[in-house]
Amino acid sequence: MTIAAEGSLLPRVTGALTRSCRQAGLDATGFRMGHDAAGLVCHLAAEGVVVRLAREDTPDEAERPAVSVRVARWLADRGFPADRPLDVEQPIVAEGFLATFWRRQEHIGPPPDPAQLGPLLRRLHALPPVPFELPACDPLGAVRRAAGECPVLDHEDRGWLLGRCDVLAEAYGLVEFALPYGLVHGDARRENMIRTPRGFLLRSWQWACAGPREIDLVPTLHGARFGLTERQLANFSEAYGHDARSQAGYPVLRDIRDLQTLTALLRRAHLDAGVRDELRHRLGSLRAGDDRLWHLP
């Protein structure tokens, strides 16, 4: 995604970044803007900082910045390997955005293997309960809102997607979970792992919430959609110590994950032709009920 592709959003982002960085004692000169699954990300190379910007007027985004910072600081106090927020008062509100500031971590070496995520999640789930309130897991809320706002989604696809959300929300309420309820990362994919000289760490806590621990296992198991092999999935489950696919409710969780992966695409499809094509590809696959491979845009 180029800065030019952001169109009218760029002045607001620039203003929000400049004001929030000034308040945090940082220089935003020469920032580079990009995206991840949680939204806008701005890189301050000279400062070694990543700035995340969430829209203040979007319900599923507005509470996430404060939660992510609080969770990450709590994890740091317990020695858990997570990315670290800067020691400044945050989030900072500017130009309709909520800004949070994180130490930039460079990945070293080849992409992590799914099996290397298993022990990290097992360690996360073994931590004591957090001493503060977390938002409850709402697995389809962000999908519904993104579908309702997406300007390139036609009436038929929007109706199908919202109807599918309704069906799966009802089914989710009936799932019997085998693992305990507690802190979950919320988007625990190997793409959110960083290999550092001190070992792996888990980043991007924007979706952290309270929920059944299976929520953190499904993103990797769902990786078959993106080419992960049966051996990789089995190795991940063995490394974690539990195979969620053996549970009766797993198909519901898998199908919910199908829809969750559409959220970022729905939000960006009007800005990027490649994202728009992938959204159509995935919707076509879901509506046809097939298992064709998906692509990371």
**3-state secondary structure labels for all residues of the chain:** CCCHHHCCHHHHHHHHHHHHHHHHCCCCCCCEEEEECCEEEEEECCCCEEEEEEECCCHHHHCHHHHHHHHHHHHHHCCCCECCECCCCCCEEECCEEEEEEECCCCCCCCCCHHHHHHHHHHHHCCCCCCCCCCECCCCHHHHHHHHHCCCCCHHHHHHHHHHHHHHHHHHCCCCCCCCEEEECCCCCHHHEEEECCEEEECCCCCCEEEEHHHHCHHHHHHHHHCCCHHHHHHHHHHHCCCHHHCCCHHHHHHHHHHHCCHHHHHHCCCCHHHHHHHHHHHHHHHHCCCCCCCCC
pLDDT of residue 12: 84
- What pLDDT, on the 0 to 100 scale, is given for residue 128? 97
Q: pLDDT band for position 60 (50/70/90)?
A: low
Using the predicted structure, report yes or no on whether residue 7 has a pLDDT greater than 60: no
Candidate CATH numbers 3.30.565.10, 3.40.980.10, 3.90.1150.10, 3.90.1200.10; the one for domain 114-288: 3.90.1200.10
Mean pLDDT of 127-148: 95
pLDDT in tens, 244-266: 999 999 999 999 999 999 999 99
Beta bridge partners of 10: none
What is the residue extent of each domain of the chain?
4-103, 114-288
Q: What span, in angstroms and rounded, lies between the C-alpha atoms of 264 and 64?
A: 15
Domains 4-103 and 114-288 share a fold: no
Predicted TM-score (pTM) of the model is 0.92
Token pair in block for residue 226: 């993106």
Please give the distance of CA 90 from its chain centroid, rounded to a whole number.
20
pLDDT above 80: residue 38: no
pLDDT at 8 over 70: no
Contact 186, 38 (CB under 8 A): no
Report the DSSP pairing between strands 92-94 and 97-103. Answer: antiparallel
Secondary-structure class of domain 4-103 per CATH: alpha beta
Nearest of 99, 178, 176, 184 to residue 139 by alpha carbon: 184
Share of the chain above pLDDT 90, in %: 84
> Would you give the end-to-end CA distance of the chain in angstroms?
10
Helix axes 155-172, 250-260, angle to 10 degrees: 150
Q: 1: pLDDT confidence band, cut at 50, 70 and 90? A: very low
Q: Which of 186, 195, 183 is nearest to 83 (CA)?
A: 195
pLDDT tens digits along 69-120: 999 999 999 999 999 999 999 999 999 999 999 999 889 999 899 999 999 9
